[in-house]
Structure 1
Amino acid sequence: MSRIATLTGNRPTRVAVAAVLGLGSVAGLGLAADAATGRVRTGGENLVVRSGPGTSYAKVGRISSGTKIDIICQARGTTVTGRYGTSSWWNKIGANRYVSDAFVYTGSDGRVAPLCKDSGSTNPAPTGAIKDDYPYRGASSGVDRWNFYKGQCTSFAAWRVNHNLGVAFHNHYKNVHWGNAQNWDNAARAAGIPVYGTPRVGDIAVRSSGSYGHVAYVAKVNADGSFMVEEYNHVRPDAYSYRRSTRGEGSEQFSAFIRFKR
């Protein structure tokens, strides 16, 4: 999501107490300082274990329903709907071994273990053109050269449009105020820029839901219709991430794709 300069998923409540080792508190929230435990609940079938926190990672095993697991840490990844609702949290249970939290009973709807050190991205960004080359990385305040707030998704998207596509885009491009991310698809239409329902590499993906919406740069389109995006301020505040996404209205998805002319 993004705040913009004007300068001119629901889950069933788990009522039981988590079996957590060493409970701590951060900013008043009950977060685990050490690893936690959980129990796999799938309704019968085995739960797939993947090499990373997302469905695009390789399958490396299966765990039977009812098995107790030790959760080393947790990372954001692909959104999955399971026995306990919809969640983008993935539980690391070993080296290169992750399971979706949507199928694990922990006694809590939130995070119960530390963040994994590599949780800044759902997928590791490949070398080459796809990388964090954002000129304001590390900044969390102030206005950028395109009149968006530094460290926000809109600022990074503006950088990609300028740097990758060679379009001199800014917050009042073509005499239209682009504003918050949730308004970008409407702003594009008002500016005469085409908006599509399916992505191509180079598009700016738009999610209009949420307080501010979200925008990201489409870096790759997969054969199954999913796509990889580069973004800021989604997986971690004011930070870069590269992840797999799909079309839709969910908090991890995008529903519109702006196609700037190159």
Structure 2
Amino acid sequence: MWKLLDVSRPRAARRIVIAATLAAVAVGTTPGVAQAYASSASGTVNTAGTALSVRSGPGATYDSWRTVADGATVTLLCQTTGQSVTGTYGTTTTWDFLSNGGMVSDAYVYTGSDGQVVDSCVYVGDEPSSKTNPRSANGAIDWAFQRNGSTSYENLCLAFVAQAYGWGGSGWNTAEIGGDWESSHGYLKTSGIPPRGALVWYHNSVGSGHVAISLGEGKVIGTSVGGGVGVAGYLDHDSYRGWSVAYLPAAW
């Protein structure tokens, strides 16, 4: 049986090797000049034999929804700051967002560098202060991952995202109505990849609409993914409308 691992490995120095593919995208090292990073990079999990927990957010307190084996190759889509972890490659607060939608501590991933190697993860902006959500974006995503695979929320996508953000309900009858409200009030954006924590809105064939929560980097978590709660690409659902800040003005 795999032993789940986040911390507890002895500190070891990481040999710093800048891969040629990453060096090619760097633009300047002059102080005050922004550094450009790759949009994705490969890494190798190194835990000395145990499985590494993939978590819903950047910390060991977030839900562990799967594991990756020691020696596995993973794809990093972005990196963010989170809980400090001491692992195979020393102590770091950097967490890597993987192509499956989860996060692992960079302390256990060999990337060829002690520093940042991919773009920073982009979070959605704050909702209006007149109606702040009880949960943060990472808290909402964690709540959603705790229900990964559940079929209890089928046909209740709007209730799912509202409850993920800490409300009892959205106050809207359908996601189509919610998406219409976001659009008519200037909150719906149709360009760019939905940032982490955004509400992602869709039309559907029955006119009730659909909504999910963005994990960032083109991934969402929501209902109706293989018949239950799961992770999908943000364009996997038909009739994508756009994304908005997590603003639910009628929520209760």
TM-score (norm 1): 0.39
Q: Which has a greater percent of helix?
A: 2
TM-score (norm 2): 0.41
